[in-house]
Structure 1
Amino acid sequence: MTDQTKDILRRAASFCAYQERTQREVRERLKEWEVYGDEAEELIVWLIEQNYLNEERFAKTFAGSKFRVKRWGRHKIRQHLKQRGITGYNLEQAMKEIEPDDYRQTLVDLLEKKKRSLQGESPLVLKQKLVRYAISKGYESEMVWAVLGEE
């Protein structure tokens, strides 16, 4: 292994250790460092074997944090994971990080908070704004309507 390869391995490991990454993000970074083809794939395999790179772990962390911190709904989380190249098994594992009871309660809390900020609206306009807001956060329209119907 050349000194240049060792340096790139070290940099790639550091890049992955800083925060969870996808294989797509690592490939893009390797291209920036002018590492292509088989050499790039060998580095990715090494990162996976050394547990620096784990897409299931990335997906679970991403989904859990976007739900807890940004209070995103499942649709938005799923869409952003797909944009990052996460599909199939890893995507489904990520969605399991969101507990159904917590999910519903978060939606209720979001709608209550938004409702307080929209004082003075007519009931129909208020409901339309709440629905649009919740759907833009990635929540399912059926669930939004069901929660609003309970009020």
Structure 2
Amino acid sequence: MDVHKTYTVEEAKRKLERYCAYQERCHKEVRNKLKDMRMIPEAIDVVLVHLIQHNFLNEERFAKAFVRGKFRIKNWGKNRLVRELKFREISKYSIDEALKEIDLDDYYETLDALIVKRINMVKEKDHYKKKKKVVDYLLYRGWESHLIYEKLNAYMK
């Protein structure tokens, strides 16, 4: 992007319509993009309102797509999903709605599969060290500690 290029509000609207149509975006991403385009705060607000009114920008839709994608592709647990959405300044309501996108059976099956896979990957002889490595891995990915220990204790007596 040319640093010296200036945009009219109309040009910015068209550019950001394409930006939002390409993939779901959160308000923070779009606001940052407009700041990078050197738009003044008043123009940023005009463009954001336009994108929201014309359904290019929808916080709840973004949150749902984000949760589905990160859970399915990266196997993130709910804690990590919530943390990442909060970082993107998504409202509590939208976060709660987005988490409903995860089927609980899928959630537990995914955790089971991750535990089995990780137990087999960790080449540690000491039982407690091995368990700790598996737990640390899952906590980093945002899985709830009570679920991790409950499932892990079933696999590692």
TM-score bracket for the superposition, by shorter chain length = over 0.9
Query: Hey, what does 1:12 align to over in structure 2?
Result: 16
**Secondary structure, counterpart of 1:69 in structure 2:** helix
TM-score by length of 2: 0.89
TM-score, length-normalised on structure 1?
0.93
After alignment, is 48-57 or 29-38 more displaced? Answer: 29-38
Show the counterpart of 1:112: 116
**Structural RMSD (CA):** 1.4
Cα shift at 1:104: 1.0
Identical-pair percentage: 37
- Aligned match of 1:91: 95
Question: Following superposition of structure 1 onto structure 2, how do residues 1-151 of structure 1 map, counting pairs within 5 Å?
Answer: 4-119=8-123, 121-151=125-155
In structure 2, relative to structure 1, the CA distance for the partners of 1:40 and 1:149 (3 Å cut) is same
How far, CA to CA, are the matches of 2:127 and 2:8 in structure 1? 66
CA distance in structure 1 between the aligned counterparts of 2:94 and 2:128, rounded to whole angstroms: 40
Q: How far apart, CA to CA, are the structure 2 residues paired with 1:74 and 1:120?
A: 28
Q: CA deviation at 1:51?
A: 0.8
* Partner Cα distance (1:23, 1:120) in 2: 44
Gaps in structure 2 of 5+ consecutive residues: 1-6
Show CA shifts across 1:1-39 (max 9, x none).
xx9222111101111111111111111111111212222
Structure 1 unaligned residues grouped into runs of 5+: none
Runs of 4+ displaced beyond 6 Å: none
Counterpart residue number, 2:3: none
**Distance in structure 2 (CA, Å) of the matches to 1:53 and 1:82:** 17
Cα 1:120–1:90 change in 2 (3 A) is closer
Q: CA deviation at 1:120?
A: 5.0
Q: Is the 8 A contact 2:122 2:134 kept in 1?
A: no
Aligned residues: 149
Q: How big is each residue's C-alpha offset from its partner over 1:73-123, in whole Å with a ceiling of 9 and x where there is no partner? A: 111111011001112111111111111111111111001011111245222
